[in-house]
Amino acid sequence: MRTVIFDLDGTLADTSGDLLAAANHCFRGLGHGDVLTRETDAGTALRGGRAMLTLGFERLGVDYTEADIDAQYPILLQAYGDDISTHTTIYPGARDAIAQLRDAGYRVGICTNKPEGLAEQLMAALDFRDAFHSLVGADTLPVRKPDPAPFTAAVTRAGGDPARALLVGDTQTDRDTSTNAGVPSVMVTFGPGDFDVASLKPEALMDHFDDLGGIVARLIG
């Protein structure tokens, strides 16, 4: 079966607001107040909790070590899980595009570097989980993207064929994952980061979810 696998953060939904709120919870706990903002740091948010914590400590100009990051990371995850969807929005057209792929006979799944439990929780909170045949997170397997194994697992768990699949994402990690898996990649251009995804030379760029069906048909039939 032909299969389309999606990254989550920055691809299906803008999760930056809730991620940044969780990071700021850590900095408030350390007595610093809010350090990160959605206006300036949304792109960093989509690179994960450790990236946000690192940026915050650097912005404060305080001495920190990896041990400090390690200590705050579970606190960040707990805060995020406690308030996971207040500011998160699904990108325009995503729900309809996924439904149309399914109606056309494609299998669809998610491969994310967000912990699986949090990804499941978020997708349920957004009332979007049932639209997908599979979900593989950062800790589902012993390895994570850009290792190709999570992508392959997302395809096979969706009932698809890894030889007839592609990955839709928004970062270098997603592009490297598709390369490592030997499949085409589609990079979205509407994520909150300031990285030029065209420089990754994906097989296709997508400006809006309305374009997804045609792109997928061209790349994997």
Catalytic status, residue 7: yes
- The two tokens of residue 144 are 């994570």
Q: Which of 7, 9, 14, 170 is catalytic?
A: 7
d(CA 160, CA 18): 32
d(CA 50, CA 72): 9
**Three-state SS at 171:** coil
- The two tokens of residue 177 are 């994952």
Beta bridge partners of 108: 4
Residue owning tokens 């390690």: 70
| CA neighbor of 88 nearest in space, from 111, 116, 118 | 118
DSSP class of residue 210 equals G
d(CA 10, CA 62): 29
**What positions carry a catalytic annotation?**
7
